[in-house]
Amino acid sequence: MLHDPVPELSARATEALESEFRTLPEFKAEPGTSAEEMAAVLEETAHRLGDNYPYFHPLYAGQMLKPPHPVARTAYALAMKINPNNHARDGGRASSAMEVEAVREIAGMSGWTEYLGHLTSSGTFANLEALWMAGQLAPGRRIVGSEQAHYTHQRISAVLKLEYTAVAADGAGRMRLDALEDELRKGDVGAVVVTMGTTALGAVDPLGEILALRERYGFRVHVDAAYGGYFTLIAESLDEAARRGYAAIGHADSIVIDPHKHGLQPFGCGCVLFRDPAVGRYYKHDSPYTYFTSKELHLGEISLECSRAGAAAVALWATQRLLPLTKDGAFAEGLRKGRRAALELDRRLRGDERFVGLGSCVPGSLNARDPGHLPCAPELDIIVWGVRAADFQKASEQARNVFDACARRGLHLALVQLPGSWFGGRGGAQNEGTLTCLRSVLMKPEHEAWIGRIWDHLSAACDEVVNG
């Protein structure tokens, strides 16, 4: 492991924080246990935490797990000395102000200066608020999203007693416009969920074209950019279709972005934004107690959640103070590095006969190569590929075996199941249903420098499996 600067940073910052309260009378905290007892429990805790994949390391290239920046970790721990609650100004005076400032910068990525927004405990809850608002504005109307949208949208809709319909995606994981319009013609759609960075593939739905349909059919557009929201900063580095989508993001009605994904934050930290500040009227309440010694609007008046960790806002504010959300800054360059790593892995996969990608098979076989080999380049920084084999069953088995062989070498990937039709899956029972594929999320800036070693481990693992 690399040297961790957090303990030294934390000690200096803690000293500075304590000096802010130096006028208070001294007192002795009473933890109720001895230092030796606490040390023993923490040592046991450290051993238990060792039973994890090394999410912080570049050789972990599986799920959407990115280590928080040292400044974020330090700021979070510093805030926990006070443990603020950002539900109300009284519970988190400084951290509430820091949340407002941090959210303003996130909204600015989409060009919004007038909006309503706040942090949440997760992207799931941020999406819940957005769909709840859609239900308030169009009661009883359906929510529609791609079949590749995050599964929580269907679950959230059920909680909200709103009907949800999944529409078909194309072979690159993007929402099909023809399938969407079939649903819109029925006249009962209240909101369309547009995903900017799907969980499986990092696919970007065609937002611009969906906004054009909004002009014809009249519905709210909610952009779930929990994963891909920060790519707005480097849209010029993306392919044309994705660039068009990001160029239109400011015309959505609501947006969700997760700072605990690409934003270098600890879990959990989501953010929901509404383009029209007037939707705040749906949050109004008349609680008679606790939160009204301050006349300023508190965040609990524009949020469905009550208690929320003020420490999350402090960590986000500090990170953005160090790494502003600008197109030419160090934060954006970190995104570009992950993007370049994904493109390099894509290039290597394209040139290798052992692997197969979306749409690359002749009907009825995963064993034949055609000119369409790996035609779908990654739109963001997620790569998905299969292992070439005689049929889906064998290819899925081989993918799982390669996954295990990579892990034995210290390289940790992920597995994903995708529709067989995306791989030319026709012509027999053995090529129906889903195909298990390998998946890699190259979201750490360090992945660019490590892509050669990642490839070596993957190649050796594949040789072990294929050649026995």
Find the length of the chain.
468
Strands 164-167 and 382-387: unpaired
Residue 373 is predicted with a pLDDT of: 43
Taking residues 411-420, what's their average pLDDT?
93
pLDDT surpassing 50 at residue 366: no
Instruction: Give the H/E segment covering residue 269.
Output: none
Round to the nearest angstrom and report the end-to-end CA distance of the chain: 33
Distances (CA, A) of 24 to 13, 19, 21, 127: 19, 10, 6, 42
Residue 89 is predicted with a pLDDT of: 75
Residue 302 is predicted with a pLDDT of: 80
Three-class SS of 211-229: HHHHHHHCCEEEEEECCCH
pLDDT surpassing 70 at residue 464: yes
| DSSP assignments along 28-57, one per residue | ----SS-HHHHHHHHHHHHHHHTSS--TTS
H-assigned helices in 237-369: 240-247, 310-322, 330-350
Residue 152 sits at the vertex; the CA angle it makes with 193 and 106, to the nearest 5 degrees, is 60
Domain 330-362+375-424+433-467 bears CATH identifier 3.40.50.1220? no
Token reading at 79:
């805030």
Residue 287 is predicted with a pLDDT of: 56
Buried b (16+ CB within 10 A) or exposed e, 108-124: ebbebeebbbbbbbbbb
Q: Give tens-digit pLDDT for 72-129.
A: 999 999 999 999 888 877 788 899 999 999 999 999 999 999 999 999 999 999 999 9
- pLDDT band of residue 296 (cuts 50, 70, 90) is low
- pLDDT band of residue 367 (cuts 50, 70, 90) is very low
Residue 419 is predicted with a pLDDT of: 87
Report the mean per-residue pLDDT for the chain.
Answer: 89
DSSP 386: E
Taking residues 239-250, what's their average pLDDT?
96
Residue 298 is predicted with a pLDDT of: 62
pLDDT surpassing 90 at residue 288: no
Taking residues 252-267, what's their average pLDDT?
97
- pLDDT band of residue 365 (cuts 50, 70, 90) is very low
Nearest CA among 400, 412, 409, 410 for reference residue 440: 412
- pLDDT band of residue 286 (cuts 50, 70, 90) is low
Share of the chain above pLDDT 70, in %: 90
Nearest CA among 171, 216, 169 for reference residue 193: 169
- pLDDT band of residue 165 (cuts 50, 70, 90) is very high
- pLDDT band of residue 432 (cuts 50, 70, 90) is low
Residue 413 is predicted with a pLDDT of: 98
CATH topology match: 79-286+294-322 vs 330-362+375-424+433-467: no
Residue 391 is predicted with a pLDDT of: 86
**Are residues 210 and 220 in contact, defined by beta-carbon separation less than 8 angstroms?**
no
Residue 342 is predicted with a pLDDT of: 97
Residue 368 is predicted with a pLDDT of: 41
Taking residues 287-313, what's their average pLDDT?
71
pLDDT surpassing 60 at residue 372: no
Number of DSSP helices (H) and strands (E) in the chain, helices first: 13, 11
Strands 382-387 and 355-356: antiparallel
Residue 77 is predicted with a pLDDT of: 94
- pLDDT band of residue 358 (cuts 50, 70, 90) is low
pLDDT surpassing 80 at residue 430: no
Residue 2 is predicted with a pLDDT of: 61
- pLDDT band of residue 454 (cuts 50, 70, 90) is very high
Domain 79-286+294-322 bears CATH identifier 3.40.640.10? yes
Lowest model confidence (mean pLDDT) among 26-30, 160-164, 251-255, 292-296? 292-296
pLDDT surpassing 70 at residue 328: yes
Buried b (16+ CB within 10 A) or exposed e, 426-454: eeeebbeebbbbbbbbbbbbbbbebbeeb
Residue 307 is predicted with a pLDDT of: 86
* Locus of tokens 């269907």: 154
Residue 369 is predicted with a pLDDT of: 41
Hey, where are the domains in the chain?
A: 79-286+294-322, 330-362+375-424+433-467
